[in-house]
Amino acid sequence: MADLALVDLVVPVKHLDRAKSRLRGAVPGGLDAHRALVLAVVSDTIGAALAAPGVRRVLVVCEDSRVVEALAGTGAECVDERGLPGLNAALRFGARRLRADDPRVAVGALQADLPAARPSDIDEAITEADGRRAFVADRPGTGTALLIGAPGEPLAPRFGQGSATAHARDAARVGDHLPYLRCDVDTPDDLTLARDLGLGPRTARVLEATCRVC
Protein backbone atom coordinates (compact mmCIF):
# COMPACT_ATOMS: atom_id res chain seq x y z
CA MET A 1 0.00 0.00 0.00
CA ALA A 2 1.27 3.50 -0.86
CA ASP A 3 1.49 5.94 2.04
CA LEU A 4 -1.16 8.54 1.16
CA ALA A 5 0.58 11.14 3.34
CA LEU A 6 3.92 10.95 1.48
CA VAL A 7 4.75 12.64 -1.82
CA ASP A 8 7.94 12.81 -3.91
CA LEU A 9 8.20 16.25 -5.51
CA VAL A 10 9.69 17.39 -8.79
CA VAL A 11 10.72 21.06 -8.79
CA PRO A 12 11.49 22.62 -12.20
CA VAL A 13 14.04 25.43 -12.34
CA LYS A 14 14.83 27.28 -15.55
CA HIS A 15 18.39 28.34 -16.40
CA LEU A 16 19.10 31.41 -14.21
CA ASP A 17 19.98 33.57 -17.22
CA ARG A 18 16.44 33.11 -18.56
CA ALA A 19 14.36 32.53 -15.42
CA LYS A 20 11.67 34.88 -14.15
CA SER A 21 12.05 37.43 -16.95
CA ARG A 22 8.86 39.22 -15.83
CA LEU A 23 10.51 39.80 -12.44
CA ARG A 24 13.46 41.67 -13.96
CA GLY A 25 14.04 45.03 -12.32
CA ALA A 26 12.47 44.03 -9.00
CA VAL A 27 15.93 44.46 -7.50
CA PRO A 28 18.52 46.94 -8.81
CA GLY A 29 21.87 45.71 -10.09
CA GLY A 30 21.31 44.12 -13.47
CA LEU A 31 21.47 40.45 -14.36
CA ASP A 32 23.73 39.44 -11.44
CA ALA A 33 21.27 40.86 -8.92
CA HIS A 34 18.33 39.29 -10.77
CA ARG A 35 20.04 35.88 -10.71
CA ALA A 36 20.72 36.25 -6.97
CA LEU A 37 17.05 37.05 -6.37
CA VAL A 38 15.84 34.08 -8.44
CA LEU A 39 18.29 31.76 -6.70
CA ALA A 40 17.06 32.98 -3.30
CA VAL A 41 13.41 32.43 -4.32
CA VAL A 42 14.23 28.93 -5.59
CA SER A 43 16.21 28.09 -2.43
CA ASP A 44 13.43 29.28 -0.10
CA THR A 45 10.79 27.33 -2.04
CA ILE A 46 12.86 24.17 -1.97
CA GLY A 47 13.77 24.73 1.69
CA ALA A 48 10.06 24.75 2.56
CA ALA A 49 9.49 21.55 0.58
CA LEU A 50 12.43 19.78 2.23
CA ALA A 51 11.12 20.73 5.68
CA ALA A 52 7.60 19.40 5.04
CA PRO A 53 7.18 16.01 6.77
CA GLY A 54 4.85 14.87 3.98
CA VAL A 55 7.54 15.32 1.34
CA ARG A 56 9.88 12.35 1.02
CA ARG A 57 12.13 13.40 -1.87
CA VAL A 58 12.72 16.65 -3.74
CA LEU A 59 14.08 16.22 -7.26
CA VAL A 60 15.09 19.46 -8.96
CA VAL A 61 15.14 19.40 -12.76
CA CYS A 62 17.53 22.06 -13.94
CA GLU A 63 20.36 22.63 -16.40
CA ASP A 64 22.11 25.45 -14.47
CA SER A 65 25.14 24.34 -12.43
CA ARG A 66 24.77 27.38 -10.16
CA VAL A 67 21.45 26.03 -8.93
CA VAL A 68 22.99 22.58 -8.38
CA GLU A 69 25.84 24.16 -6.38
CA ALA A 70 23.49 26.29 -4.28
CA LEU A 71 21.44 23.22 -3.34
CA ALA A 72 24.40 20.99 -2.50
CA GLY A 73 24.05 19.52 0.97
CA THR A 74 20.42 20.58 1.42
CA GLY A 75 18.93 17.17 0.72
CA ALA A 76 17.48 18.16 -2.65
CA GLU A 77 18.53 15.92 -5.54
CA CYS A 78 19.29 17.52 -8.88
CA VAL A 79 19.01 16.14 -12.38
CA ASP A 80 19.92 17.82 -15.65
CA GLU A 81 16.93 18.35 -17.94
CA ARG A 82 19.13 17.53 -20.95
CA GLY A 83 17.68 20.05 -23.36
CA LEU A 84 14.13 18.79 -22.99
CA PRO A 85 11.67 21.12 -24.65
CA GLY A 86 10.04 23.14 -21.90
CA LEU A 87 8.46 22.94 -18.49
CA ASN A 88 6.07 19.98 -18.86
CA ALA A 89 8.71 17.84 -20.57
CA ALA A 90 11.15 18.60 -17.73
CA LEU A 91 8.47 17.68 -15.18
CA ARG A 92 7.57 14.41 -16.93
CA PHE A 93 11.27 13.51 -17.04
CA GLY A 94 11.68 14.12 -13.28
CA ALA A 95 8.44 12.31 -12.44
CA ARG A 96 9.48 9.25 -14.47
CA ARG A 97 12.77 9.13 -12.53
CA LEU A 98 10.94 9.17 -9.19
CA ARG A 99 8.40 6.55 -10.28
CA ALA A 100 11.18 4.32 -11.59
CA ASP A 101 12.57 4.22 -8.04
CA ASP A 102 9.15 3.61 -6.46
CA PRO A 103 6.29 2.80 -8.86
CA ARG A 104 3.67 3.18 -6.10
CA VAL A 105 4.71 6.67 -5.03
CA ALA A 106 2.56 9.80 -5.37
CA VAL A 107 4.60 12.25 -7.45
CA GLY A 108 3.94 15.97 -7.30
CA ALA A 109 5.23 19.08 -9.05
CA LEU A 110 6.00 22.22 -7.06
CA GLN A 111 6.73 25.48 -8.84
CA ALA A 112 10.05 27.03 -7.77
CA ASP A 113 8.77 30.58 -7.40
CA LEU A 114 6.94 30.40 -4.06
CA PRO A 115 9.20 32.28 -1.60
CA ALA A 116 6.50 32.62 1.08
CA ALA A 117 5.65 28.89 1.05
CA ARG A 118 5.70 27.20 4.43
CA PRO A 119 6.27 23.50 5.14
CA SER A 120 2.92 23.29 6.96
CA ASP A 121 1.06 24.57 3.86
CA ILE A 122 2.61 21.89 1.67
CA ASP A 123 1.63 19.29 4.25
CA GLU A 124 -1.91 20.62 4.47
CA ALA A 125 -2.29 20.37 0.70
CA ILE A 126 -1.02 16.77 0.73
CA THR A 127 -3.40 15.92 3.56
CA GLU A 128 -6.36 17.52 1.78
CA ALA A 129 -5.48 15.66 -1.42
CA ASP A 130 -5.80 12.44 0.59
CA GLY A 131 -4.47 10.21 -2.18
CA ARG A 132 -6.45 11.88 -4.96
CA ARG A 133 -4.96 13.65 -7.94
CA ALA A 134 -5.13 17.27 -6.79
CA PHE A 135 -3.78 20.76 -7.40
CA VAL A 136 -3.33 24.04 -5.57
CA ALA A 137 -4.07 27.08 -7.72
CA ASP A 138 -1.80 30.12 -7.62
CA ARG A 139 -2.97 33.41 -6.04
CA PRO A 140 -4.80 34.75 -9.12
CA GLY A 141 -6.44 31.33 -9.52
CA THR A 142 -5.37 30.85 -13.15
CA GLY A 143 -2.04 29.05 -12.68
CA THR A 144 -0.89 26.15 -10.53
CA ALA A 145 1.43 26.27 -7.52
CA LEU A 146 1.41 22.55 -6.70
CA LEU A 147 0.15 19.48 -8.57
CA ILE A 148 -0.07 16.15 -6.74
CA GLY A 149 -0.55 12.95 -8.74
CA ALA A 150 -2.41 9.97 -7.37
CA PRO A 151 -0.16 7.20 -5.96
CA GLY A 152 1.23 5.04 -8.74
CA GLU A 153 -0.18 7.27 -11.49
CA PRO A 154 1.78 9.37 -14.01
CA LEU A 155 2.11 13.05 -13.09
CA ALA A 156 0.50 14.25 -16.37
CA PRO A 157 1.48 17.92 -15.86
CA ARG A 158 -0.37 20.62 -17.80
CA PHE A 159 1.50 23.69 -16.62
CA GLY A 160 1.46 26.87 -18.69
CA GLN A 161 -1.05 29.64 -19.24
CA GLY A 162 -4.43 28.71 -17.74
CA SER A 163 -3.05 25.58 -16.08
CA ALA A 164 -5.58 25.75 -13.22
CA THR A 165 -8.42 25.13 -15.69
CA ALA A 166 -6.41 22.39 -17.39
CA HIS A 167 -5.63 20.64 -14.10
CA ALA A 168 -9.21 21.04 -12.84
CA ARG A 169 -10.37 18.70 -15.62
CA ASP A 170 -9.06 15.65 -13.80
CA ALA A 171 -7.74 16.83 -10.41
CA ALA A 172 -9.40 18.05 -7.22
CA ARG A 173 -8.73 21.69 -6.36
CA VAL A 174 -7.36 21.88 -2.83
CA GLY A 175 -5.56 24.43 -0.67
CA ASP A 176 -7.62 27.51 -1.49
CA HIS A 177 -7.02 28.59 2.12
CA LEU A 178 -3.21 28.44 1.80
CA PRO A 179 -2.10 31.95 0.80
CA TYR A 180 1.61 31.39 1.49
CA LEU A 181 1.78 28.40 -0.83
CA ARG A 182 -0.31 30.10 -3.52
CA CYS A 183 1.83 33.25 -3.66
CA ASP A 184 3.90 32.76 -6.84
CA VAL A 185 6.10 35.69 -7.80
CA ASP A 186 5.92 36.48 -11.50
CA THR A 187 6.19 40.29 -11.29
CA PRO A 188 7.65 42.91 -8.93
CA ASP A 189 4.12 43.51 -7.57
CA ASP A 190 3.86 39.80 -6.70
CA LEU A 191 7.14 40.10 -4.81
CA THR A 192 5.74 43.00 -2.78
CA LEU A 193 2.69 40.86 -1.93
CA ALA A 194 4.92 37.95 -0.93
CA ARG A 195 7.01 40.26 1.25
CA ASP A 196 3.84 41.45 3.00
CA LEU A 197 2.87 37.83 3.71
CA GLY A 198 6.34 36.89 4.95
CA LEU A 199 9.25 35.75 2.82
CA GLY A 200 11.63 32.88 3.34
CA PRO A 201 14.99 33.92 4.84
CA ARG A 202 17.11 34.00 1.65
CA THR A 203 14.68 36.09 -0.36
CA ALA A 204 14.18 38.41 2.62
CA ARG A 205 17.96 38.92 2.83
CA VAL A 206 18.22 39.79 -0.87
CA LEU A 207 15.45 42.37 -0.53
CA GLU A 208 16.90 43.81 2.66
CA ALA A 209 20.22 44.25 0.89
CA THR A 210 18.69 46.13 -2.04
CA CYS A 211 15.49 47.56 -0.57
CA ARG A 212 13.83 48.38 -3.93
CA VAL A 213 10.48 46.96 -2.78
CA CYS A 214 10.95 47.50 0.98
159 is a contact residue toward ligand PEP (CB under 6 A) = yes
CB atoms within 10 A of CB 101: 10
Residues 6+ apart with CB under 8 A from 26: 34, 37, 187, 188, 191, 212, 213
Q: Which member of 37, 39, 49, 61 binds ligand GTP (CB under 6 A)?
A: 61
82 is a contact residue toward ligand GTP (CB under 6 A) = no
Known binding-site residue numbers for phosphoenolpyruvate:
144, 160, 163
Q: What CA–CA distance (Å, rounded) separates 106 from 7? A: 5
138 is a contact residue toward ligand PEP (CB under 6 A) = yes
Q: Which is nearer to ligand PEP, 101 or 158 (CB)?
A: 158
135 is a contact residue toward ligand PEP (CB under 6 A) = no
Q: Which is nearer to ligand GTP, 22 or 96 (CB)?
A: 22
Task: Tell me how far, at minimum, the Cβ of 3 lies from ligand GTP, in Å.
Answer: 27
Draw the binding track, 103-142, toward ligand GTP (x: CB under 6 A; -: no contact).
--------xxx-----------------------------
Residue sitting closest to ligand PEP (CB): 143
Contact 19, 60 (CB under 8 A): no
Scan residues 5-24 and list those touching ligand GTP (CB under 6 A). 12-14, 19-22
In the list ligand PEP, ligand GTP, none, the entry touching 81 (Cβ below 5 to 8 angstroms by class) is ligand GTP
186 is a contact residue toward ligand PEP (CB under 6 A) = yes
Q: Which is nearer to ligand GTP, 118 or 163 (CB)?
A: 163
81 is a contact residue toward ligand GTP (CB under 6 A) = yes
Q: What CA–CA distance (Å, rounded) separates 166 from 142? A: 10
CA R_g for the chain: 16
